[in-house]
Structure 1
Amino acid sequence: MFAGNIDRISSEDIETVNSVHPSDILNRATGVHIQTNNGMESLPALRSPVLTGPGAAGAFLFLEDGIATRSAGFANNNGLSELNLAQAGSVEIIRGPASAVYGSNAVHGVLNVLTKAPSDEGEVSLLLGPNERYQLQGTVGQDMGQHGVSGNFQAIDDGGYRDNSGFSSFKVNGRHDYEEGKDSISTLISGFILDQDTAGFISSDDNGGECYSSDYSGKNLYKDRDAMEKNCDVDAYRKWSSVRVASHWQRKLSEETQLSITPYFRSNQMEFSQHYLPSQAIEENSHYSFGVTSQYYWNIDPKDSGCYGVRRRVDQRGTDTNPVKT
């Protein structure tokens, strides 16, 4: 747990939870509320309202090893679905506005998923859950001195808690690390596929009673336990796939300075039924982008630079007393 607006979910928590939906693991952090919707869809909130539709599209920045999963302006409020949270090394969270540092999509916060470094390990697990859920996932890796390789995969088949609302998803990550002298290179390839039957909204007399009819009025429909499991939009669906590739090169220039350059490529395709509109039209969208990010790191010693530092007086119990500027 971190103070202020920064938090971090550890690898131990991630391994314990074995998440299916983003909410399973991210809601363990304070100030974070991820609401699970149909299938793999979700609505995020990071010290913010739960935003929907266009209002959520550019409000949160989702990163994988520091690289955004989408370009600015091509956001999607379901973007957490394509990140392999169940097999991440850790997750960094910045709650609240952070656009000055991270860019235009960080209006309400940032989620950065950090992948695991390669190591000598290998395991496969099969987990069973409610609603005929089958979750198969595995990891394999090898550390070979200067080189290290690893691969992770997660396959889920879920029947859904409502009628005709199941989904199948597949996520895969491959990582290669290389280090020699002052140079280190880390290359990551990520893929995601989703085939989802989407459940629509519930009303008290759906489809003229052909699908189901409730004894409760619209404002009291939440009391009808049977209605919660009904789905009258049997034709609603979402098909989604994405691929991301990034190679992070870092050189140590001196004891205090480092330079890093990261070229990347992103591809995303989606097709879904707009079941929430009277037309129920089919929308198709895609996003292809590539770019390069660069960073220059300089560790400054406050004593040498003449900047103000903070020295704390600590009493014998180890408790901070008043800070003193030096």
Structure 2
Amino acid sequence: MIAIRTGQNILDVAGNISWIDDKSLRLIEQQHINQALVRIPRGWISRGNGQEHLTAIRSPVLTGAGGCGAFFIAQDGLSLRAPGFCNVNQLFDANTEQVSSLELLRGLTSTMYGSNAVHGVINVLTPNPFDTQQSNFSMSIGPHDYSRGMFSVSTKTEQYGFLFYGNVTKDGGYLQDSGFDQQKFNVIHQYQGGKWQIKNVLVVTNLNQETAGFISGFEVYKDAALKRQNPNPEAFRDSQSMRVYSQISYVENDTTSFSITPYIRSTDMQFLQHFLPWQPLDENSHNSVGVQAQFQKDYGDLTWLSGFDVDFTQGQLREMQADTFSPTLPAGIHYVYKVNASV
């Protein structure tokens, strides 16, 4: 569904597309999204501390606004963040550990995904309750106080499917004061009856991370007394996100289809910018509501595709600094603003 938001034969996609299916993801059992997407050619997720990351798709590893503004990152075709409100680490807003597949489209893509899809698209696909065979639970443990529990509870009838799944992770971190606690929960309710299909999805995530800074010094990694020290024990990142949407589709004779997807999206994040010498505290959030609608008609070798996207977002950001760094960077509030955006 990555090219035109509907199922397609991979040979019919006009683009460089790769994907990782659920069997491969179960084999990987990733602890970080880097471990999965590193298997896709020309795609690279640079692993940061905890769950942080930077993205590259046929590009350098980009940071700052370019680190997210140049990529379209989505779940079931819906952007994880509102247009203009992206974050370089936004993939931790998705339960990539328990998806049905990960899709990656490399290179400049269709305007269907907006101006963000400059270098490529990453699309996270949620499972289908009708394809889920049974409920399960698993537990993983590892060094540095790492532990993770994953679960899935499913039930289905001829027309209705229900799936509740999620994971809870605790990691003490390799460096001092560098661990994180993370929780991700998904609820899916699906209906299939004749020409109609409806998929209702609720996603909730929470991340509480103690962020580590970089150790500097020549060959310091060889010094056992220094290589686990954290030069920024005060650094942290707390992030919460919620998305709820309903994918409603109608198919007539395999040649005519219509779909509409209303959605609500919310994120809230606070983090200390330890990578800046003056270390300001950043607090940002946004709430949005929108809808995607699409009509498709096939005329033999010709396909007519039309539709519209609407998104209304209210966002805000507040940055303050505890101590004076210089006359131009005094203690106190640096700026506070709110934005109303419509697309």
Aligned match of 1:98: 109
Equivalent position to 2:159, from 146, 155, 158: 146
1:112-123 alignment, distance < 5 Å: 112-118=123-129, 119-123=132-136
Cα distance between partner residues in 1 of 2:227 and 2:96: 28
Aligned match of 1:48: 59
Once the 2 structures are TM-superposed, how far is the Cα of residue 26 of structure 1 from its aligned partner? 1.2
Shifted more, 263-272 versus 110-119: the winner is 110-119
Cα distance between partner residues in 2 of 1:25 and 1:129: 19
Aligned match of 2:262: 263
Shifted more, 177-186 versus 98-107: the winner is 98-107
Once the 2 structures are TM-superposed, how far is the Cα of residue 82 of structure 1 from its aligned partner? 1.5
Aligned match of 2:90: 79
Cα distance between partner residues in 2 of 1:108 and 1:222: 34
Instruction: List per-residue Cα deviations over 1:224-279 (Å, max 9, x = no partner).
Output: 56543210211110000000001000112344100000000100000000111122
Aligned match of 2:236: 237
Task: Quickly say closer, same or farther: Cα 1:227–1:33, change in 2 above 3 A.
Answer: farther
Instruction: List per-residue Cα deviations over 1:35-83 (Å, max 9, x = no partner).
Output: 1101100011111100112221311111111111111110111011121
Q: Does 1:58 align with 2:69?
A: yes
Equivalent position to 1:188, from 191, 201, 205: 201
With structure 2 as the length reference, what TM-score do the two structures score?
0.80
- SS of the counterpart of 1:279? coil
Is there any run of 5+ residues in structure 1 with no aligned partner, and where?
Answer: 205-215, 306-326
Aligned residues: 288
With structure 1 as the length reference, what TM-score do the two structures score?
0.84
Cα distance between partner residues in 2 of 1:51 and 1:12: 30
Instruction: List per-residue Cα deviations over 1:73-125 (Å, max 9, x = no partner).
Output: 10111011121111100111101221523111111111111111113410000
- SS of the counterpart of 2:34? helix
Aligned match of 1:310: none
Shifted more, 223-232 versus 257-266: the winner is 223-232
Cα distance between partner residues in 2 of 1:147 and 1:12: 24
Aligned partners of 1:99 and 1:107 also within 8 Å:
no
Cα distance between partner residues in 2 of 1:100 and 1:283: 32
What percent of counterpart residues are identical? 40
Aligned partners of 1:32 and 1:47 also within 8 Å:
yes
Is there any run of 5+ residues in structure 2 with no aligned partner, and where?
Answer: 1-9, 303-343
Once the 2 structures are TM-superposed, how far is the Cα of residue 181 of structure 1 from its aligned partner? 2.4
Aligned partners of 1:58 and 1:75 also within 8 Å:
yes
- SS of the counterpart of 1:14? helix
Aligned partners of 1:120 and 1:143 also within 8 Å:
no
Q: Does 1:21 align with 2:32?
A: yes
Aligned match of 1:11: 22
Task: Quickly say closer, same or farther: Cα 1:97–1:146, change in 2 above 3 A.
Answer: same
Cα distance between partner residues in 1 of 2:54 and 2:198: 35
Cα distance between partner residues in 1 of 2:139 and 2:98: 14
Aligned partners of 1:99 and 1:105 also within 8 Å:
no
Cα distance between partner residues in 1 of 2:69 and 2:110: 11
- SS of the counterpart of 2:155? strand
Cα distance between partner residues in 2 of 1:193 and 1:12: 26
Aligned match of 2:181: 168
**Partner amino acid for 1:74?**
F
Instruction: List per-residue Cα deviations over 1:176-228 (Å, max 9, x = no partner).
Output: 10122221110010011000000113233xxxxxxxxxxx4xxx545556543
- SS of the counterpart of 2:209? strand
1:189-204 alignment, distance < 5 Å: 189-204=202-217
Aligned match of 2:281: 282
Larger-gyration structure (1/2): 1
- SS of the counterpart of 1:12? helix
Aligned match of 1:32: 43
Cα distance between partner residues in 1 of 2:236 and 2:25: 29
**Partner amino acid for 2:208?**
D
- SS of the counterpart of 2:91? helix
Once the 2 structures are TM-superposed, how far is the Cα of residue 150 of structure 1 from its aligned partner? 0.3
- SS of the counterpart of 1:86? helix
Once the 2 structures are TM-superposed, how far is the Cα of residue 20 of structure 1 from its aligned partner? 1.4
Cα distance between partner residues in 2 of 1:79 and 1:262: 21
